[in-house]
Amino acid sequence: MLPSRPGSALTRAFARVNPQIFSLIAVSVLAHVTMSGGRVSASLFALQHGGSGFSAGIAYSLYGLLPALLSLHMGRWIDRIGPRIVMRSSLVVMIFGLSLPYLWPILPVIFVSAALCGFGFGTYMLAANVSVSYMAFKHEGDRIGMIGWLQLGNSVSSVVGPTLVGAVIDNHGFSQAFGTLALIVLGSLVVSYRVHLPDGTRDANRGEGGQSIVRTVFTNPRLLRIYLLAMTVSLSWDGFNFMVPVLGHERGYSATTIGMVLSAFAVGTFGIRAALPWLSRHLSEWRMLCLSFGLTALVFFLLPFASFSFLLAGLGFLFGLAAGVGQPSILNLIYRAMPAGKAGEGAGLRAMMGNFMGLTGPTVYGSIAALFGAVPVFLLIGCIMSISSWQAHHGYRSSVASA
């Protein structure tokens, strides 16, 4: 028998795709452009209008503050009224948040805008991810690929957003930049009414009698393992993005070199997420996590000792390949393990834990690096990811035994 050609495999993969995912990606790309661009605009405004680096850090961090505090409640809201209404309501919140600095471009308003936009986008993406759990797929593994494709759209907009606002700020000022972003979100809202977005609501007669997901997770070793591994995914992601510039600064690397390493990471995540529909047909979530964490550990062990820029970029690309499968695999495990009708609450708890790691992780990394240098941080994360790979292997063995 002749081996199947890559083109035919790609054709079969597209044939299995639920068309709703493309509508969701289209709306999400427009929404995420404003998130990535808004963070840059808020930080630059704080720096250029009498603010300090500390003020810029506050403006940037405020985008993640409310999602870190409220994601669990946001997930319950999604379960109660369905993701479609939540997505559209979240876009309205973002439009309002971006309109404020367009009308009153002052630093306190920038802070309020950052909090509102972060809350709106965090809620939107939570609902968008949950909506994938309502989609029909012939093969359960295809759902992982579609979650990856949804995040693939975010990868594209992460490049477009900062480039766009930078050009608008240079030519027309900050007020017009925020106004442009508000118009883009308005376009996203209009598109959401022109396409069919997936929806679903919780059945009040199903589930576990209203038991809190937090209690369910912490009394279920299988679920607890999934959520702890979700935290290590965030830990490694934030560790790489925060510590590579720190390592580069310690060793006198140019900004171009550091940027090249981070760009290679982005290319790796883009490539693996594009291939997820095919990969998920051949490997289970636990297998992908085991390999992903193992490769991540290897990268973190090697990064401090890579002395050439091309080696650093190569390791960044490898980490992108590893990191790109983490969140989609975790989310699909959560959707499959959740009690009936609690997909939103389950995803909200994961988002809350991930945002908490994003708020606290860089502070811990920076403190260790200030005392002992960057190398111990990389080695510490490498050890944590080695343990995570071992735990993912245990998860795989348990899933096989219970099958």
Q: Is the pLDDT of residue 258 over 80?
A: no
For residues 179-189, give the mean pLDDT: 90
CATH superfamily of 211-403: MFS general substrate transporter like domains (1.20.1250.20)
What pLDDT band is residue 54 in, cutting at 50, 70 and 90? low
- Percentage, residues of the chain above pLDDT 90: 20
* pLDDT score, position 4: 45
Whole-angstrom Cα distance, residue 165 to residue 235?
29
* Nearest CA-CA partner of 239 in 349, 352, 379, 55: 379
Which segments of the chain belong to CATH 1.20.1250.20? 21-196, 211-403
Question: Which residues neighbour 238 within 8 Å (Cβ) at sequence distance 6 or greater?
Answer: 357, 358, 361, 362, 365
End-to-end CA distance of the chain: 31
Higher pLDDT, 56 or 211: 56
* pLDDT score, position 372: 87
Radius of gyration of the chain (CA): 21
What pLDDT band is residue 216 in, cutting at 50, 70 and 90? confident
Distance of CA 178 to the CA centre of its chain: 23
What pLDDT band is residue 207 in, cutting at 50, 70 and 90? very low
Instruction: Please state which architecture CATH assigns to domain 21-196.
Output: Up-down Bundle (1.20)
pTM: 0.77
Looking at every residue in the chain, the average pLDDT score rounds to: 81
Q: Is the pLDDT of residue 180 over 60?
A: yes
* pLDDT score, position 23: 75
Whole-angstrom Cα distance, residue 237 to residue 249?
19
Burial class (CB in 10 A: 0-12, 13-18, 19+), 192: buried
Phi, psi of 174 (to 5 degrees): -70, -40
Give the position of tokens 């199903």: 206
